[in-house]
Amino acid sequence: DEYKRIADVSLSCLRALGLGWGPTNIEFRWTKHGPVVIEVNPRLSGGDPNLIQLAYGVDLVTEHLKLVVGDECDLRRKYSETATARYLVADRDGILESIDGVSRAAAVPGIAEVRLYVKLKTPIIRKGDYEDLIGYIMASSPSSTHTAAILQRAVDLVNWSISPLPT
């Protein structure tokens, strides 16, 4: 039922805005009244192309470019896995003093990517948005339970320290 409601709202947005040509990012929040649309944009979303490639073997960026230049695109899945990502989020304001375990996390079987956004000695001032992110870890495997376990194992290996901002 939730899937159908999400699909119906998404398709209504596409029809209302005349977006049916290419990739579209629809962001919504699930509330007690169902899905509430936050934004609709005719573009690929941030991390999703990588997750879709991990899960289905479809390179959305390449296929989108084919569509733009008039070539035939192929969105058929090559295989079916479960892919997910976990964002690493600063837990307080301050200066990023150290971060370790990244290479150990990347070496966990099933981990596809570990990426950091910030460098050491970077001031972190949280604003409650995407700029609070330190990085992310992506994983894939044949099952959602196994993928979640792989991802948690890798996340547990990454540690950082943040010192207080100078006064």
Residue 31: pLDDT band with limits 50, 70, 90? very high
Tokens of 75: 């969105």
Same domain, 121 and 147: yes
At residue 147, what is the residue type?
A: T
**Residues 111, 50, 27, 141, CA torsion sign:** negative
pLDDT of residue 47: 64
User: In this structure, are 70 and 141 located in the same domain?
Assistant: no
Instruction: Note whether 122 and 99 are within 8 A (CB).
Output: no
Does 135 lie in the same domain as 68? no
Q: Which domain holds residue 151?
A: 82-163
Residues 101 and 150 in one domain: yes
Q: What is the pTM of this model?
A: 0.80
Query: Could you give the number of structural domains in the chain?
Result: 3
- Pair (156, 95) in one structural domain: yes
Q: Could you confirm whether 43 is annotated as catalytic? A: yes
* Catalytic member of 43, 77, 92, 126: 43
Predicted pLDDT of residue 48: 73
pLDDT digits (tens, 9 = 90+) for 74-127: 999 999 999 999 999 998 999 999 999 999 999 999 999 999 999 999 999 999
For residues 106 and 127, membership in a common domain is answered with yes
